[in-house]
């Protein structure tokens, strides 16, 4: 066997051995770091969208949101197809505050013209009860279970959203991205991340509808950013 191949297998064996040697405390710390990194990327998605007037979510839109999905999408291809990514889904409680977040992951986007995008930040504002019920499915498809429309943008936009609206999309990207739609994109529960967050197996519907689950500490920055968007009009 060539030396290069032997070295490759040796590295794999060392990595496997190291994984087994991790103490429960080390494993827990690693899981916590993973959630913190992911939540940091979610917060960055919001900041990037709000940094540009052409993608900025108006306060009047955010204040009417009944639910929200925030995504970090990766690996868009040329012409068609984008896959890979993760995000959070939340529902607004009767108090007006955001309820506990459920981790989700993205499937393939098959519709729309896409030209070499590397990273795509997405905020989907859910504005009616029909599309809110979509979150209670084990797997849901944007464009099938609910339609998506590009949302109005700008600091001074005053929106009164009609009943015909389902989901308003706000996007920012790194790399080239042209004419993308979300037709064909589907979202699934990220069971591993939800298990790590809440310490038990819960479905997305159980999480977002719960009035008893604690708010994870990692969500603080995300909630602060959403509150800033909602109150931004009065501050300007």
The tens digit of pLDDT for each residue in 27-41 reads: 556 777 888 888 999
Decide if pLDDT at 113 tops 80: no
The answer to whether 215 and 100 have CB atoms below 8 angstroms apart is yes
pLDDT band at 147 (very low <50, low <70, confident <90, very high): confident
191-198 vs 24-50: helix axis angle to the nearest 10?
110
Q: Which of 76-85, 121-130, 187-196, 199-208 has the lowest mean pLDDT?
A: 76-85
Decide if pLDDT at 72 tops 80: yes
> Can you read off the two tokens belonging to residue 102?
């459920």
String of DSSP letters for 43-66: HHHHHHHHTSTTTPPPHHHHTT-S
Distance set, CA 168 to CA 27, 106, 223 (Å): 39, 17, 19
CA–CA gap between residue 79 and residue 113 (Å, rounded): 5
pLDDT tens track for 172-197: 865 544 445 555 567 889 999 999 99
> pTM score, two decimals?
0.78
CA–CA gap between residue 228 and residue 23 (Å, rounded): 40
> Can you read off the two tokens belonging to residue 111?
């519709």
Element (H, E) at 116: none
Element (H, E) at 16: helix 3-21
Return the closest-CA partner of residue 150 out of 164, 171, 127, 136: 171
Q: How many helices (H) and strands (E) does the chain have?
A: 8, 10
Distance set, CA 151 to CA 62, 71, 157 (Å): 11, 16, 11
What is the Cα gyration radius of the chain?
Answer: 20
Element (H, E) at 35: helix 24-50
> Can you read off the two tokens belonging to residue 155?
């600091």
């Amino acid at each position: 066997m060539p030396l290069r191949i032997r070295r490759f297998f040796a590295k794999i064996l060392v990595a496997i051995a190291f994984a087994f040697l991790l103490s429960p405390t080390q494993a827990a710390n690693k899981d916590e770091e993973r959630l913190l990194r992911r939540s940091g990327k979610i917060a960055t998605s919001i900041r990037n969208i709000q940094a540009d007037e052409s993608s900025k979510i108006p306060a009047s839109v955010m204040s009417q949101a009944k639910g929200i999905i925030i995504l970090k999408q990766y690996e868009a291809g040329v012409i068609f197809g984008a896959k890979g990514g993760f995000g959070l889904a939340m529902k607004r409680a009767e108090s007006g505050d955001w309820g506990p977040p459920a981790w989700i992951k993205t499937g393939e986007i098959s519709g729309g013209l896409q030209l070499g995008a590397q990273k795509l930040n997405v905020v989907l504002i859910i504005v009616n009860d029909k599309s809110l019920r979509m979150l209670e499915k084990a797997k849901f498809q944007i464009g099938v279970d609910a339609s998506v429309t590009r949302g109005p943008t700008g600091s001074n936009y005053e929106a009164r959203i009609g009943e015909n609206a389902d989901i308003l999309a706000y996007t920012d990207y790194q790399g080239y991205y042209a004419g993308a739609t979300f037709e064909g994109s589907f979202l699934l529960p990220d069971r591993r991340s939800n298990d790590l967050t809440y310490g038990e197996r819960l479905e997305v519907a159980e999480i977002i509808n719960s009035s008893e689950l604690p708010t994870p500490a990692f969500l603080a920055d995300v909630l602060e950013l959403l509150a800033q968007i909602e109150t931004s009009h009065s501050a300007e």
